[in-house]
Amino acid sequence: MDHLRPVDSGSPSDDGEPGSEPGPAADLADLLRRAGRADEAAFARLYDATSSRVFGLALRVVRDPAQAEEVTQEAFLEIWRTAGRFDEDKGSPYAWILTITHRKAVDRVRSAEASTRRDTTYHQGNQPIDHDTTAEAVQASLEARRVRGALKTLTDVQQEAIGLAYFGGYTHTEVATMLDLPVGTAKTRIRDGLIRLRDALGVGS
Amino acid sequence: MTTPNDIHALSGAYAVDALDDIERASFERHLAECAECRAEVASLREASALLAETTDTAPPAALRDRVLADITKVRPLPPEIPETHPVRSRRGHGRGARLLAAAAAVVVLGGGAAAVWQQPWQDGTSEAPSATEAVLSAPDARSTSLDFPGGASATVTHSDSLGQAVIVTEKMPPPPEGKVYQLWLDQPGEGMVSAGLMPVKADQKVLLTGDAASATGAGITVEPEGGSTSPTSAPIALFDFGAKA
């Protein structure tokens, strides 16, 4: 039978990409493509280039360093497994990688155990909601400063809604309750805020 | 401004994973049909990804070893669309729609709800097994396989000489409650023509009804119970029969 399923190249060092390894700044898209062909060395370099971004996001969402490590591990395994499906025409490598990471992190905090713990914290604290506004972030990289500058162009509610959704892992319905917004308006704040952020940063069309 | 019920308004919450499972499933179905939302989600993900620049934190060194050990045990998935499958756009489902449909399939296939047994081949059950075997062992049998997230897979084998096609599935989760998997043959000039409903069974062999020799491909969609006369949702799988001999 004529099996049409593509067969992966199998051997990690398959057809010997021309010996000249690209420099350390080899672009992530290329590393992903090679990872999709089971190139473990390329994947190691992808890890080195992106792991602090991935781990930092996971840590921010799940809070617990041990769990953040697990989420990072899961995310990279998924990145490895699906690298061949990355399509540069649909988005940047970072957006793709962090989408996977964020989803894993959110799944983690929404699991029953984590949500119990979180709810307890929330009801105890109640007043100062764990405002995960990005203004608290400590990183001082140039890019981070640029992002924070762009965040300042958002309204307070937009910033808070995005922070609670993205870094807090809360659903828009939960965000609405936490911010005392009418049901159904948090999603609009999140969307409007992201659009403003996108336009301020000049990314994604 | 969008109204609260406007599904387009969920794009931002979807981009930052702020939808519950049900909203996410319905938004993903919408995404498969709405190029505008697909583009918006992609752009908002670019923006939200930048938020992570404010949280950079180097992981412990030992994590690197664990990750690199992990991957040696996992085979990367093949590309979503085998290169032997040219993009077709008869129904407006281009490659992007197909990828998104596959993404939606994660939700659909992960649903795991009980479903009603459907057996549209009741009158032919006695001969169905031999008919399926005949197709599978035909000298001109040609197969196309697709893997779904979650470990399910489906293979469509067709024989032009017999004019029939068979789908073989493995570990197929049940469709969402009140829904069925419906099979389709892509007939030139007619589009997707129903080829029957799939019985709810994880592993099975099913003969597609209709002329597989004239068809250019087959597809699976999730349809309301009882099936539809034409697809009402984006396919969760498309199988291209390739060039005719």
Task: Return phi, psi of residue B243, to 5°.
Answer: -70, 145
pLDDT at position A17 over 60: no
B125 and B154 part of one domain: yes
Note whether B222 and B236 are within 8 A (CB).
yes
* Cβ neighbours, 10 Å, residue A67: 18
- Nearest Cα to Cα of residue A83 among A131, A13, A31: A31
Q: How deeply is B103 buried, as exposed, middle or buried, from its count of CB atoms within 10 A (0-12, 13-18, 19+)? A: middle
- A49-58, B95-104, B178-187: range with highest mean pLDDT: A49-58
Q: CB distance B67–A139 less than 8 Å? A: no
Residue B110 has pLDDT above 50, yes or no: no
Q: How far apart are CA B128 and CA B121, in angstroms?
A: 8
The residue in chain A having the minimum alpha-carbon distance to the alpha carbon of residue B52 is A57
CA angle centred on A82, ends A58 and B72, rounded to 5°? 85
CATH 1.10.10.10 given to domain A128-205: yes
Which is higher by pLDDT, A3 or B162? B162
Q: When comparing pLDDT for B217 and A19, which is higher?
A: B217
Mean pLDDT of B183-189: 85
Question: Where do the CATH 1.10.1740.10 domains begin and end in chain A?
Answer: 25-126
Contact yes or no for A172 and B242 at CB 8 A: no
| CATH architecture assigned to A25-126 | Orthogonal Bundle (1.10)
Q: Which of B1, B72, B77 sits opposite A84 (nearest CB)?
A: B77
* Distance, C-alpha A41 to centroid of its chain: 23
Tell if the CB–CB gap between B67 and A47 is shorter than 8 Å: yes
Closest partner CB to A188 (pick from B9, B43, B53): B9
CATH number at residue B50: 1.10.10.1320
**Residue pairs spanning A and B at CB distance below 8 A:** 242
The percentage of chain A sitting over the pLDDT mark of 90, rounded to a whole number, equals 64
Does residue A104 contact residue A74 with C-beta atoms inside 8 Å?
A: yes
Specify whether B12 is located in the same domain as B108.
no
- The segment(s) of chain A belonging to CATH 1.10.10.10 are 128-205
Domain boundary among B17, B42, B76: B76
Give which of B50, B137, B148 to mutate to test A binding, by max A Cβ within 10 Å. B50
Closest Cβ opposite residue B77 in set A4, A73, A81: A81
Residue of A nearest to B19 (CA): A171
Distance of alpha carbon B179 from alpha carbon B181, whole angstroms: 7
| pLDDT tens-digit series, residues A95-145 | 999 999 999 999 999 885 555 655 555 444 333 333 343 434 444 577 888
Cα(B92)–Cα(A4) distance, integer angstroms? 24
| Total domains, chain B | 2
| Same domain flag for B25 and B123 | no
ipTM of the complex: 0.78
pLDDT at A113: 52
Whether A57 contacts B48, CB under 8 Å: no
- Answer for the pair B185, B208: CB distance below 8 angstroms, yes or no: yes
Structure tokens that stand for B17 in this block = 């994973």
Token pair in block for residue A104:
């894993």
Query: What is the domain range of residue B3?
Result: 1-76
Q: Which residues of A touch B4 (CB under 8 A)?
A: 183-185, 188
Residue at B89 is within a domain: no
The CB-side HSE value for B74 (13 A sphere, CA atoms) comes to 21
In sequence order, which residues have a C-beta less than 8 Å from that of residue B170 and are 6 or more positions away?
A: B152, B153, B154, B202, B203
Can you list the alpha helix ranges (DSSP code H) found in chain B? 11-15, 21-33, 35-51, 61-71, 95-110, 128-136
In this predicted structure, what is the pLDDT of residue B202?
A: 76
Helix segments in A8-127, DSSP class H: 28-36, 40-62, 65-82, 93-110, 112-125
What pLDDT, on a 0 to 100 scale, did the predictor assign at position A163?
A: 96
Nearest to B218 by CA among B100, B29, B34, B88: B88
Confidence grade of residue B175 (pLDDT, cut at 50, 70, 90)? confident
Q: Is A29 on the interface with B (CB under 8 A)?
A: no
- Which residues on chain A are in Cβ contact (under 8 Å) with B1? 188
Amino acid letter for position A147: V
- For B19-50, letters b (16+ CB in 10 Å) and e give beeebbbebbbbbbebeebbebbbbbbbbbbb
Q: Compare all CA atoms of chain A with the CA of B240 and give the residue at the minimum distance.
A: A4
Return the closest-CA partner of residue B72 out of A54, A36, A78, A12: A12
| B122 and B203 co-located in one domain | yes
Residue B92: left if φ>0, alpha if ψ -120 to 50, beta else—which one?
left
